[in-house]
Structure 1
Amino acid sequence: MARIPVNVLGRYLIHGHLSHWGCLGACRYAPRRALVGPALSAARPFRSLHAAQEPNPKAQLPPSVPLRKQWKDEAKQARKQGKKKANKDSQTVDGWELTVGIEIHAQLNTSRKLFSPALTSFNDSPNSHVALFDVAMPGSQPLFQAETLIPALRAALSLNCDIQPVSRFDRKHYFWWDQPSGYQITQYYQPFARNGHITLLARDGISPEDGESVTVGIKQVQLEQDTAKTLAQTDNTQWLDFNRVGVPLIEIITEPQIHHPRTAAVAVRKIQLLLSTVDACVSGMEAGGLRADINVSVRRTGDPNAPLGTRTEIKNLSTIKAVEDAIIAERDRQIREIEAGGKIASETRGWTIGSKETRRLRGKEGEVDYRYMPDPDIAPLIIEKDLVDHLRQTLAASPDTELDRLITHFGLTAKDAMSLINLENGARVQYFYKVLAHFERMIEEAVADDAMPDVKSYAGLIGNWTIHELGRLTTSRAGPLGQVDLDFTPEGDCIQVPDSELAQILFHLYRKHITGKVAKELIMALYLGELEGGVLESIEAHDLWFKELSPEEYEALVDEVVDGENKVLQELVSSETFPQGKLMFLVGKMMRAGQTERIDPATAERLLRDRVQKLRAP
């Protein structure tokens, strides 16, 4: 058979078009004696299908779209549909109720392991901090390290838990290569904290279906030890780093009282924020210091007395977004399974970031499989009331209290206040306070006997620069080829942009001694380490002071700008609703027409607004 041209084959594969110069068409060149009897009768009907397409088959083909472009368009459309669903329709499914419970494992901020004096280590050489008990050496005994209790108590108090005066340790038996002793020491039956709760507010980002707030109960908080770290190698080889085995953890178990995926993600984020605020945990989810397991079940909403559905557990979710995405995927999977007549199996499932479905890992183990038993080598843990009272009195302010103060006292927006508290695990808000303190000292010296300005008049400026302008430094094209993240200490010190230097820049900006453009250049020079001397010295050396136009020069510039803009002025004068965009158009024109380094945009806007008001007057 003759070789089919590539363009003909492409039209068939992509569009399904058959050329009328097909295999049977070649038969017209064959001897007539070959087309006799049944062969002729079979060929004629097939040939008649193409009679209408002659003589030029290309004339009637639709425009050819490359296959790669088709795939890209389909993927783009799928992403749009998925995004639309995630934003609007993913929180609820008509006729179904979702129930979620959360188990959070967080590494405590301690220097010792839970039952051995070995140091906790996360960046040192593998297997460099290992005691005999950590690797279950025969004859070694657990020795509870009392210092690990302090951050655990702070965490439980931040979650409004009742501290139990007596708690005990249990053995949870299972065999895996990262557990040398064949069991994990935990507090299953008698944990050290119970009956807590957290309140999630609308400003935290909960699902709109939950209204202004929702309270989630904390069933218990228990102490337990971490496992070794598995390092996968080639050829199906696994290496073990026993530096992590025995590191103290707390497991936080919520009540199954969450009914929307976004609210569950917010709960994990807020618990992480609370633990960081009271200095209980060493790092967050992104650094591996906090892991979340999610229990998911669904049931129909028609019968309020119906029991909760069979739950499945999704293990080791490592980001806040993964929590919401995994819950949505598992909820939808369970609903499809039930609607198809199937049953939900009690099992442990996994989730990979970017995937669409959870995957089965193993059947769900129960209490009998783990064979919990009291640990005979560890004495009961006795916690005195005076210790609890002292820790409660010295506990750091809660994030909600901090947010209220930032919003009501300092006048920040809820979004900016939330960003300050969340960035760098709370270090950014400490940086904000330090900049604010330096700024206020300079203001007090400048105003002398005059009244201090309202704190809201400058706190918003400091908040904006602390969040947004600092954030732009690491993404600016003016920066170095290898961008360097800003380094913040837990106390709120920034290595690249010291708080005292930023305060001085913002002081001069607030007092209109320099322009916003100059302020941005100064902060970039600080970030790049190119600022010679201090801020004041650099302004003096390069004559960067703001020399504002005189009132007469402003008026002349306004006359120049409005000349020839009769249509815009007419809209500004006659419109019932003041068109701010039209006014800002004139402000922009004014900035371009004059000397930018001598024009204050606020003054330009005020003068143009006054001119419009004069034209409005009868």
Structure 2
Amino acid sequence: MLQPWLPRNPRAACSLVCSRCHQALVLQQRPRIARRISQSISFRSSRWLQTESASSADPVPLRKQLKQEAKALRARKRQTKQDEEASRRGWELTVGIEIHAQLDTEAKLFSRAATSTSDIPNTNVALFDLAFPGSQPEFQVATLLPALRAAIALNCEIQPVSRFDRKHYFYQDQPAGYQITQYYEPFAKHGYVDLFDYDGIAPEDGSRVRVEIKQVQLEQDTAKSQEYPPSMQLLDFNRVSHPLIEIITLPQIHTPATAAACVRKIQAILQSCGAVTTGMELGGLRADVNVSVRRRDEAPGTHQYHGVGGLGQRTEIKNLSSFKAVEDAIVAEKNRQIAVLESGGVIEGETRGWTIGSTETRKLRSKEGAVDYRYMPDPDLAPLVIDPGLTAQLKETLPTSADDLVELLRGPAYGLSIEDAKPLIELDDGARLEYFMDVVDLLRILQQDEDAKSVDRLGRIVGNWVLHELGGLLTKGELAWDADRVSAPSLAELIDQLHRKHITGATAKLVLTMLFDGDQRPIRQLLEEENLLLRPLSRDEYVALAETVMSQNLRMVEQIRTKNQVGKLGWFVGQMMRTGEKGRVEAQRAEEVLRELILGS
């Protein structure tokens, strides 16, 4: 469609454009097209004139108009989404998750080849990995240790005897024609993972959800394939037989956000116990999700899923590589299944794929079952026997769980908020948490002569300095965590000086920056040599400083008095600290004097 050209000054030239330029274009078209263009021009011209008439009375800036239109569009989208959700409240979503995680081991599961996948392709490969005739699997006992740590951390029951099975399928990434796994008798069963509101579960799921784990099984990874359209595919067998654990949950999740939170929590548990080296971001962990829907008012059916009846026909979405992909894929598949069922269709049991940025899942193949895979016991591998003493020893050496650490940090010993406790646990593989605890312990020793109520707040104070002040300097410099930049004793002494009001908050931040940048002087020496110790101002000095700042901003003073804009007092406090002698103006005293002079309180 032709677009009318509008000059820079449309008020002066609108009629000229409409009556001459576009009229000339219309005459050159066929009659029917000419009528449509003429009608379009007439409509746009009248709309333009109406806009001009309205704007002449009450002009609306273009930027403001665009913002209003964008806001209206967001509101319409939000309303549409709410309407869609309302129409689907009669449906219940059920999700089960299967997580494949690469174990942190030096050797492969059934060969002595190294597990490194970052080397030149096809260089860390044993004869068994390539399924050479006559080659036999050799179970590497060391691969069991990280698998056991993972299962124990997931609250599983370790089975004294487990066995390996062959899962048959033919694909180029599996040269033997089968994958060795533990389908019937896995080494760990009956575990669970607890999800809390601070883990990011959906609000409608409440404050806590327990997701039960059916089993954890050992299995070998497949080759890495790289497609080069239209018809070339390269294979790297370095990854073949890399030790995996597959974690299978029961179908007890009913919201996409909680499913993503479950994958995120399991990854964090695996990393904290040293079972894996990388997570989803580097390809060390992949998730498959099984999705089904059914009407809430529908009587339980006969569909079976992991032994749990009454659920709709499920589909499986394979190889999701991020937490967002897990959530988005479930939402898309839920909407697809509901649309199919509401239109009278039937959900087919199938395997589906997901592309990041997409809005729909896509069919890959019909869903295989146990019969299709022709599971059979592996005749070349003996049963795996696990000594209960080994399990007990590993339990004793596991680090404290993240949930226990959250409870400890939020408790009376430290008194942190969940917003501070979570980052301390998750950042830098626990190194920042260890640093935080060291600073708190040292500060408590320095504060032994203070009252107990004051000491109780030390955890929150240290948390703020470690996460926000010191963390902000690291972020600004784009630097990795390094506890030696500002030692724990130095930070503890700096906070002690601030707590005793020997320095102001601004001075403490300045000194922290100096330490961060490499100043090696002891805190007390640095404060004395730089003349940073607080020499408190008298009341008369505070009043004089406040009156000077107020006299330069009388209009703002009047606004605070007449309109009760108390928030602007902070601006005056900042001016007093800039105007006054460096390191001598205390923000709290400055605000008290300002309130007295301006508000009479």
| Fold in common (TM above 0.5) | yes
Q: 2:534 maps to which residue? A: 547
CA–CA separation in structure 1 for the residues paired with 2:570 and 2:68: 38
Out of 184, 192, 207, the position equivalent to 2:187 is: 192
Deviation at 1:507, TM superposition (A): 4.6
Q: How does 1:166-315 map to 2 (within 5 A)?
A: 166-232=161-227, 236-306=231-301, 307-315=310-318
- Return the letter of the residue paired with 2:143: T
Alpha-carbon offset, residue 423 of structure 1: 2.5
Shift of 1:259: 0.6
SS at match of 2:282: coil
- 1: distance between equivalents of 2:87 and 2:213? 24
Structure 1 296/461 Cα, relative in aligned 2: closer, same or farther at 3 Å?
Answer: same
For residue 599 of structure 1, give the secondary structure of its aligned residue in structure 2.
coil
Q: Aligned partner of 2:588: which letter?
A: A
Does the 8 Å CA contact 1:227/1:244 hold for their aligned counterparts? yes
CA contact (8 A) 2:447 2:496 kept: no
Structure 1 SS opposite 2:457: helix
Structure 1 residues 534 and 110: CA distance shift in structure 2, 3 A = farther
CA deviation after TM superposition for structure 1 residue 140, in Å: 2.0
Supply the distance in 2 between the matched residues of 1:7 and 1:571 (Cα, whole angstroms): 49
Q: Distance in 1 between matches of 2:3 and 2:273?
A: 72
Aligned to 2:307: none
Q: CA deviation at 1:581?
A: 2.7
1:382 corresponds to which residue?
Answer: 385
1:439-478 paired onto structure 2 within 5 Å? 439-440=442-443, 444=445, 446-447=446-447, 454-473=454-473, 475-476=475-476
Q: Would the alpha carbon gap of residues 359 and 522 (structure 1) be closer, same or farther in structure 2, given more than 3 Å must change? A: farther
In structure 2, the CA distance between the partners of 1:233 and 1:524, relative to structure 1 (3 Å rule), is farther
Which region of structure 1 is more displaced relative to structure 2, 218-227 or 347-356? 347-356
Partner of residue 432 from structure 1, selected from 433, 436, 460: 436
2:328 is the alignment partner of 1:328? no
Residue of structure 2 equivalent to 1:366: 369
SS at match of 2:280: coil
Per-residue CA deviations over 1:70-97 (Å, capped at 9, x if unaligned) read 9999988766766788899869932111
| Aligned match of 1:39 | none
Deviations 1:394-427 (A, max 9, x none): 3222211110111112111112111222224444
**Counterpart residue type for residue 542 of structure 2:** Y
Whether 2:587 is the aligned partner of 1:601: answer yes
Task: Specify the SS of the correspondent of 2:215.
Answer: strand
Deviation at 1:169, TM superposition (A): 0.6
Once the 2 structures are TM-superposed, how far is the Cα of residue 144 of structure 1 from its aligned partner? 1.3
The CA deviation string for residues 515-536 of structure 1, in whole angstroms up to 9 with x for no partner, is 5445545555666xx4243564
| Residue number among 157, 160, 169 corresponding to 1:162 in the alignment | 157
Does the Cα contact within 8 Å between 2:286 and 2:321 map onto a contact in 1? yes
Q: Distance in 2 between matches of 1:418 and 1:86?
A: 31
CA distance in 1, matches of 2:356, 2:126: 36
Map 1:579-618 to 2 at 5 A: 581=567, 583-595=569-581, 597-606=583-592, 608=594, 615=600
Report if aligned partners of 1:290, 1:318 keep a CA contact under 8 Å in 2.
Answer: yes
Equivalent residues of 2:4, 2:22 under 8 A apart: no
Are the counterparts in 2 of residues 202 and 208 from structure 1 also a CA contact under 8 Å? yes
Give the stretch that moved more between structures: 603-612 or 344-353.
603-612
1:414 is aligned to: 418
Is the 8 Å Cα contact of residues 174 and 223 (structure 2) preserved in structure 1?
yes
1:354 to 354, 357, 362: 357
Which residue does the alignment assign to 2:306? Answer: none
Amino acid at match of 1:346: G
What residue identity is the alignment partner of 1:404?
Answer: E
Structure 2: how far apart are the matches of 1:452 and 1:123? 54
* 1:437-480 deviation line (CA, Å, top 9, x unaligned): 4x43xx52x4576667755422222222332334433553xx4x
Structure 1, unpaired ranges of 5+:
28-41, 64-68, 488-492, 573-578
Residue in 2 aligned with 1:568? 560
Alignment size in residue pairs: 560
How far has the Cα of 1:222 moved from its partner?
0.6
Q: Which amino acid aligns with 1:320?
A: F
CA gap of 1:580–1:239, structure 2 versus 1, over 3 A, is: farther
Q: Higher mean Cα deviation, 378-387 or 554-563?
A: 554-563
Tell me if structure 1 keeps the 8 A contact 2:288–2:320: yes
Give the alignment's TM-score, normalised by structure 2. 0.80
Deviations 1:584-613 (A, max 9, x none): 355344334434532222343455567789
Residues 1:85 and 1:292: Cα distance change in structure 2 (over 3 Å): farther
| Per-residue deviation, residues 131-181 of structure 1 (Å, max 9, x unmatched) | 222222222221112222122112112222111111101111122222232
Q: Quote the RMSD (CA, aligned, Å).
A: 4.2
Deviation at residue 380 of structure 1 after TM alignment:
0.5
Match of 1:395 among 395, 398, 416: 398
Contact 1:202 1:213 in 2 (8 A): yes
- The 3 A distance-change label for structure 1 pair 237 and 543 is farther
TM-score, structure 1 as length reference: 0.78
CA distance in 1, matches of 2:71, 2:65: 10
- 8 Å contact from structure 1 (residues 329, 356) kept in 2: yes
Post-superposition CA distance 1:111-138 (Å, at most 9, x none): 2221122222143343343222222222
Q: Map 1:37-186 to 2 at 5 A.
A: 93-186=88-181
Q: Distance in 2 between matches of 1:238 and 1:500?
A: 57
SS at match of 2:238: coil
Separation of aligned partners in 1, 2:79 and 2:489? 45
Unaligned runs of 5+ in 2: 7-13, 53-63, 302-309
Q: For residues 471-530 of structure 1, give each alpha carbon's deviation from its aligned partner in whole angstroms, at most 9, with x where no partner exists.
A: 433553xx4xxxx4414xxxxx54766555555554544444555445545555666xx4
Residues 459 and 590 of structure 1: CA distance in aligned 2, closer, same or farther (over 3 Å): same
Q: Distance in 1 between matches of 2:589 and 2:87?
A: 50
Mapped to 1, the partners of 2:232 and 2:428 lie a distance apart of 36
User: In the TM superposition, what is the alpha-carbon distance from 1:332 to its structure 2 partner?
Assistant: 0.9
Q: After the TM superposition, which residues 494-513 of structure 1 pair with which residues of structure 2 at under 5 Å, given as runs?
A: 494=483, 499=488, 502-503=491-492, 505-513=494-502
- Name which of structure 1's ranges 427-436 and 516-525 shifts more when overlaid on structure 2: 516-525
1:257 deviates by: 0.6
Determine the structure 2 residue equivalent to 1:575.
none
Contact 1:20 1:53 survives alignment (8 Å): no
Task: Note the alpha carbon deviations across 1:556-593, whole angstroms, 9 max, x for none.
Answer: 43455567646635777xxxxxx863553553443344
Deviations 1:222-250 (A, max 9, x none): 11111222345577543333332211111
Residues 1:214 and 1:139: Cα distance change in structure 2 (over 3 Å): same
In structure 2, relative to structure 1, the CA distance for the partners of 1:74 and 1:244 (3 Å cut) is farther
